[in-house]
């Protein structure tokens, strides 16, 4: 139960009257974010991500650059499949070419035909780039921006202008950078967005420059920063303090090099720390689920240490923390995790004390008396000394605690298993040394389901797959929920490297039933035995919670 002190500590802050009352969140995950090494989005991926961003409630979704590649063309062609309730779709492009004409520029023509009410164009704001990269005059550099904005406004578009390399340009030739910004504003740009394209600026410089521009133009001012100095979020918040009313970034900080500024902590900090509106009412609690859903769609695991949305953001391990948390939840959490859709996690390890385990048991609905609690602590310390790591395997921990409290799983009992591998040269796929090989793996599992003894054989791509196949065959439709349980990741770590190939190995298996995910663990000098332990725990845990 929360106390008055907790409520006061977590109350919404009073907004500084010099700050904006609200900002528009502009997401560029579908364009800038997709430039991260390792990300390759299909058109279907982009459509699903756009749905998630609209569900979160961002103001603008940048869909891509029409004409840049077939994928972006298809995305805009299929954009009609989206039903956006909150967000507006934006098409991205660039200014006209140097010394060119706007009425014959192919990029501007595609933006005019993109089918979006809003377009965002990028233009050079650093004299060095104008003279050296574009090979044109500074006067033409200004005219490129003014002409392009005016052309698109005349086409009936709402125009946002991304001032590329603004902070580098402002540092080296302040007069030119301000001329470009002024030209965009006077030509009808709705917002001029100041870009720290190289990501090298620090918050004091960002805040000072944004304040100067906000005083210099009559249109809105936005901020677009990268995270190369690790200051992306701080720079964006500094810009808002100086008067920026639009923040561009990506969900989970995806983007070129080390990434764009991460909208997840930006949104949470604006609303919870600065009292500035960033999302429609009631949407902030969707932040964690959207961050995790997008991470699944881009196929990159979410950083567990990500502020607000990470799995470890509100995780507590040491006994001192968890003892205090049991009495005062606000004592070691800077905000209530429920505000962003996350939750408190109590991690159990050899460092855990009685209060930690009591909280964990209560959270799981397990009734453990004092004597059993002491036995669990002793068992945990012994197993972690042997190589187990239960803070990374909550599902195995739950099964251990339930077993200590007297529960026995009755889904199946293992009698024995055997795994065989045939490796033959001369056929099949080629290995790294160009020697053709063929590998077959077969597992035999003998189990009991009640009084029924069952034996099954399974084949697979390796021993874990074969064991999984054999176990499922042995259960043979006994539990329909088993069809929904799938393995999503398999991790192996050698614990004592000095023992070479005879070392103890730790296996972690991530599984899902497409409603929730869990992790199980196994440890043994035999990697197949360790894998079986983790696999069996995964199946038991999934069946145990099949009806939750």
Q: What does residue 126 show for φ and ψ, rounded to 5 degrees?
A: -120, 120
Cα torsion through 40, 42, 44, 46, rounded to 10? 50
Over the stretch 369-398, which tens digit does the pLDDT of each residue have? Answer: 777 888 887 887 788 778 887 767 889 988
Cα torsion through 165, 171, 173, 174, rounded to 10? 100
Among 236, 265, 298, the domain boundary falls at 298
524 in a structural domain: no
Cβ(94)–Cβ(107) under 8 Å? yes
Given a cut of 60, whether residue 74 has pLDDT beyond it is yes
- Lowest-confidence region among 1-10, 187-196, 432-441, 517-526: 1-10
Nearest to 237 by CA among 272, 195, 206: 206
Given a cut of 50, whether residue 1 has pLDDT beyond it is no
Among 267, 298, 329, the domain boundary falls at 298
320 in a structural domain: no
Together in a domain, 272 and 419: no
**Residue 229 is encoded by which pair of tokens?**
């100095």
Given a cut of 70, whether residue 270 has pLDDT beyond it is yes
**Residue 447 is encoded by which pair of tokens?**
């189990």
Q: Which residue has the tokens 């008067």?
A: 243
Length of the chain: 548
Over the stretch 289-299, which tens digit does the pLDDT of each residue have? Answer: 899 889 878 88
Cβ(540)–Cβ(411) under 8 Å? yes
Q: Which residue has the tokens 């009559």?
A: 218
Cβ(160)–Cβ(119) under 8 Å? yes
pLDDT of residue 497: 64
d(CA 209, CA 336) in angstroms, rounded, equals 34
Four-residue CA torsion sign, 276, 278, 280, 281: negative
401 in a structural domain: no
69 in a structural domain: yes
Given a cut of 90, whether residue 6 has pLDDT beyond it is no
Helix crossing, 370-386 with 394-404: angle to 10°?
A: 140
* HSE, side-chain direction, 13 A CA sphere, residue 68: 14
Range of the domain at 118: 18-298
> pLDDT class for 359, splitting at 50, 70, 90?
confident
380 in a structural domain: no
**Residue 175 is encoded by which pair of tokens?**
């007069």
80 in a structural domain: yes
Nearest to 537 by CA among 406, 397, 388: 397
* HSE, side-chain direction, 13 A CA sphere, residue 110: 21
Cβ(322)–Cβ(316) under 8 Å? yes
Average pLDDT, the chain: 88
In sequence order, the 6+-apart residues with CB closer than 8 A to the CB of 300 are 36, 38, 39, 252, 254
CATH number, domain containing residue 197: 3.20.20.70
Cβ(236)–Cβ(266) under 8 Å? yes
d(CA 71, CA 400) in angstroms, rounded, equals 49
Q: How far is CA 453 from CA 281, 420, 459, 466, in A?
A: 57, 22, 20, 20
Residue 177 CB-density burial (10 A; 0-12 exposed, 13-18 middle, 19+ buried) = buried
Given a cut of 50, whether residue 7 has pLDDT beyond it is no
135 in a structural domain: yes
Cα torsion through 136, 142, 145, 148, rounded to 10? -80
In percent, how much of the chain has pLDDT > 70? 89
Q: What is the mean pLDDT of the segment spanning 52-60?
A: 96
Together in a domain, 279 and 421: no
371 in a structural domain: no
**Residue 207 is encoded by which pair of tokens?**
């805040």
pLDDT of residue 8: 40
Q: Which residue has the tokens 């200014």?
A: 95
Q: What is the mean pLDDT of the segment spanning 199-227?
A: 97
pLDDT of residue 2: 38
Nearest to 192 by CA among 202, 179, 207: 179
Four-residue CA torsion sign, 266, 269, 274, 279: positive
Q: What is the tally of structural domains in the chain?
A: 2
Instruction: Point out which residues pair with 220 in neighbouring strands.
Output: 191
Q: What is the mean pLDDT of the segment spanning 418-435?
A: 67
pLDDT of residue 334: 87
Among 272, 298, 324, the domain boundary falls at 298
Q: Residue 17, SS3?
A: coil
Together in a domain, 105 and 249: yes
Cβ(459)–Cβ(445) under 8 Å? no
Nearest to 533 by CA among 506, 504, 502, 499: 506
In percent, how much of the chain has pLDDT > 90? 65
Q: How many helices (H) and strands (E) does the chain have?
A: 18, 16
> pLDDT class for 5, splitting at 50, 70, 90?
very low
């Amino acid at each position: 139960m929360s106390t008055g002190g907790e409520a006061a500590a977590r109350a919404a802050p009073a907004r500084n009257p010099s700050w904006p009352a609200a900002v528009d969140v502009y997401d560029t995950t579908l364009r800038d974010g997709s430039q991260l090494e390792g990300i390759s989005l299909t058109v279907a991926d982009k459509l699903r991500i756009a749905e998630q961003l609209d569900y979160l409630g961002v103001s603008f979704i940048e869909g891509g650059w029409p004409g840049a590649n077939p994928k972006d063309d298809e995305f805009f062609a299929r954009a009609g499949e989206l039903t956006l309730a909150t967000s507006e779709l934006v098409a991205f492009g660039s200014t006209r070419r140097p010394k060119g004409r706007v009425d014959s520029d192919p990029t501007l023509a595609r933006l005019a035909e993109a089918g979006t009410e809003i377009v965002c164009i990028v233009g050079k704001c650093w004299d060095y780039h104008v003279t050296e990269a574009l090979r044109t005059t500074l006067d033409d550099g200004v005219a490129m921006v003014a002409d392009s904005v005016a052309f698109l406004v005349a086409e009936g578009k709402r125009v946002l202008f991304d001032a590329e390399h603004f902070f580098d340009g402002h540092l080296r030739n302040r007069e030119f950078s301000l001329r470009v910004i002024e030209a965009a504003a006077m030509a009808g740009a709705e917002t001029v967005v100041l870009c720290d394209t190289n990501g090298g600026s620090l918050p004091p410089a960002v805040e000072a420059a944004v304040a100067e521009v906000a005083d210099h133009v009559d249109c809105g001012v936005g901020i677009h920063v990268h995270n190369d100095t690790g200051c992306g979020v701080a720079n964006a918040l500094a810009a808002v303090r100086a008067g920026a009313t639009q923040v561009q970034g990506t969900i989970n900080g995806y983007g070129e090099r080390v990434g764009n500024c991460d909208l997840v902590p930006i949104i949470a900090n604006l609303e919870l720390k600065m009292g500035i509106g960033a999302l429609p009412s009631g949407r902030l609690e969707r932040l964690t689920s959207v961050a995790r859903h997008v991470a699944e769609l881009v196929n990159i695991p979410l950083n567990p240490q990500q502020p607000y949305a990470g799995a470890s953001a509100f995780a507590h391990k040491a006994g001192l923390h968890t003892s205090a948390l049991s009495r005062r939840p606000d004592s070691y959490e800077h905000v209530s995790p429920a505000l962003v859709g996350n939750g408190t996690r109590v991690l159990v390890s050899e460092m855990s004390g009685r209060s930690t385990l009591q909280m964990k048991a209560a959270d799981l609905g397990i009734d453990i008396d004092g004597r059993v609690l002491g036995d669990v602590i002793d068992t945990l310390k012994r197993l972690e000394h042997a190589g187990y790591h239960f803070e990374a395997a909550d599902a195995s921990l739950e099964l251990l605690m339930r077993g200590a409290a007297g529960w026995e799983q009755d889904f199946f009992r293992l009698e024995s298993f055997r795994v065989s591998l045939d490796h033959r040269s001369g056929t099949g796929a080629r290995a790294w040394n160009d020697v053709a090989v063929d590998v077959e793996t077969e597992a035999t599992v003998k189990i009991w389901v009640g009084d029924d003894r069952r034996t099954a054989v399974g084949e697979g791509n390796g021993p874990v797959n074969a064991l999984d196949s054999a176990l499922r065959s042995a259960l043979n439709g006994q539990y329909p929920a088993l069809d929904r349980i799938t393995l999503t990741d398999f991790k192996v770590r050698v614990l004592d490297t000095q023992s070479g190939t005879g070392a103890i190995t730790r296996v972690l298996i991530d599984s899902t039933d497409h409603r929730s995910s869990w992790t199980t663990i196994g440890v043994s000098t035999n990697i197949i035995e360790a894998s079986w332990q983790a696999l069996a725990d995964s199946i038991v845990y999934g069946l145990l919670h099949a009806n939750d």
